[in-house]
Structure 1
Amino acid sequence: MRSIAIEKRKPASSNRHFLIIISLIIVFLLYLSSTSGLSSVFSTAKLQVFKMVFISIIIEALPFVLIGVFVSAILQVFVTDQMVQRFIPKNPFLGIIAASVLGIIFPICECGMVPAIRKLIKKGMPLYVAVTFILVGPILNPIVFLSTLTAFRNQPVVAYYRMGLAFIVALIVGLIVFQFVKSNQLRDQVDQTKENHHHHDHQHDPASLPVKNKFIEVMGHAVSEFFDMGKYLVFGSIIVALLQIIVSQNSLIELGNSGPAANILMMGLGFILSLCSTSDAFVAQSLQTIFTKSSLIGFMVFGPMINIKGILMMLAVFKSRFVLLLCTLVFIFVLIGTLVLQSINL
Structure 2
Amino acid sequence: MEMLKNILNEIWLVTVEMAPYLLFGFLMAGILSQLISRDFVKRHLGGNRLMGSIKAALVGVPMPICSCGVIPFAALLRKHGASRGATASFLASTPQTGVDSLLVTYALLGWFFSVFRALAAFLSGILCGIAVEAVPASGNDKQEEEEKTEAAEQRNHILLRMLKYGFITLPGKIAQAMLIGIIISGVISGIIPDNFFADRLGHSPFAMILMLFIGIPLYVCSSASVPIALAFIKAGLSPGAALVFLITGPATNAATLTTLWQIIGKKELTVFLITLSLCALAAGFIINFFSPALGIEEQVCHMHESNSPLNMVWTILLLAVLIKSLLPSRSGKT
TM-score normalised by the chain length of structure 2: 0.71
| Contact 1:62–1:279 under 8 Å retained in 2 | no
The residue that corresponds to 1:51 in the other structure is: 8
- Residue 83, structure 1, aligned to residue 40, structure 2: yes
Measure the CA separation in 2 of the matches of 1:266 and 1:49. 25
The yes-or-no answer on 1:149 pairing with 2:106 is: yes
- Structure 2 residue matching 1:254: 3-state secondary structure: coil
What is the identity, as a one-letter code, of the residue corresponding to 2:141?
A: Q
Partner SS, residue 252 of structure 1 = coil
* Shift in Å, 1:331: 1.5
Structure 1 partner of 2:133: 178
Contact kept? 2:131, 2:272, Cα under 8 Å: no
Cα distance change, pair 168–286 in 1 and its aligned pair in 2 (3 A): same
The answer on whether the counterparts of 1:71 and 1:108 sit within 8 Å (CA) in structure 2 is: no
Looking at CA atoms only, which structure, 1 or 2, has the larger radius of gyration?
1
- Which letter maps to 1:342? N
Question: Structure 1: which 5+ residue stretches go unaligned?
Answer: 1-43
- What are structure 2's unaligned runs of at least 5 residues? 293-334
Q: 1:263 maps to which residue? A: 208
The Cα of 1:273 is off from its aligned counterpart by 5.3
Q: Distance in 1 between matches of 2:237 and 2:224?
A: 18
CA distance in 2, matches of 1:62, 1:308: 30
Aligned residue in 2 for 1:302: 248
Secondary structure of residue in 2 paired with 1:84: helix
Deviation at 1:107, TM superposition (A): 4.1
Secondary structure in 2 matching 1:58? helix
Residues 253 and 224 of structure 1: is their aligned pair in 2 closer, same or farther, counting only changes over 3 Å?
same
328, 333, 340: which one aligns with 2:274: 328
**Alpha-carbon distance in structure 1 between the residues aligned to 2:166 and 2:103:** 23
> Does the CA contact (< 8 Å) of 1:103 and 1:137 recur in 2?
yes
Mapped pair 1:162 → 2:117:
yes
Separation of aligned partners in 2, 1:251 and 1:105: 34
Q: Does 2:166 match 1:211?
A: no
- Amino acid across the alignment from 2:137: K
Cα distance, 1:72–1:281 mapped onto 2, change above 3 Å? same
Q: Is 1:288–2:288 an aligned residue pair?
A: no
User: Residue 75 and residue 161 in structure 1: after superposition, are their counterparts in 2 closer, same or farther (change >3 A)?
Assistant: closer
AA matched with 1:171 = I
In 1, the alpha carbon distance for the partners of 2:82 and 2:154 equals 28
Would you say the 8 A contact 2:203–2:288 is kept in 1? no
- Write out per-residue CA displacement over residues 138-160 of structure 1, whole angstroms, 9 at most, x where no aligned residue: 3454443332222223xx32223
Distance 1:67 1:134 in 2: 25
Q: Quick one: which amino acid aligns to residue 283 of structure 1?
A: I
1:274 to 213, 219, 231: 219
Rounded Cα–Cα distance in structure 2 between residues aligned with 1:177 and 1:310: 17
2:199: which partner in 1? 254
Write the distance in 1 (CA, Å) between the matches of 2:166 and 2:291.
43
Distance in 1, matches of 2:131 and 2:173, equals 33
Kept in 1, the 8 Å contact 2:135–2:267? The answer is: no
CA contact (8 A) 1:128 1:177 kept: yes
Instruction: Tell me how far 1:310 sits from its aligned partner.
Output: 4.5
Match of 2:284 in 1: 338
Query: In structure 1, what is the equivalent of residue 182 of structure 2?
Result: 237
Q: Report what 2:56 is aligned to.
A: 99
Query: Which one-letter code corresponds to 1:114 in the other structure?
Result: I
Distance 1:242 1:115, change over 3 A: same
Query: Contact 2:21–2:104 at 8 Å: present in 1 too?
Result: yes
Match of 1:13 in 2: none
The 4+ residue runs of structure 1 with deviation greater than 6 A are none
Residue type at the aligned position of 1:174? G
Quote the sequence identity (%). 19
Hey, what's the Cα distance between the residues in 2 that align with 1:222 and 1:312?
31
Q: Is the 8 A contact 2:10 2:190 kept in 1?
A: no
Contact 2:202 2:238 in 1 (8 A): yes
One-letter amino acid of the counterpart of residue 211, structure 1: R
Pairs aligned (count): 289
Could you tell me which residue of structure 1 aligns to residue 330 of structure 2?
none
- Bigger mean CA offset, 331-340 vs 249-258: 249-258
Q: 1:145 to 1:239 in 2, by over 3 A?
A: closer
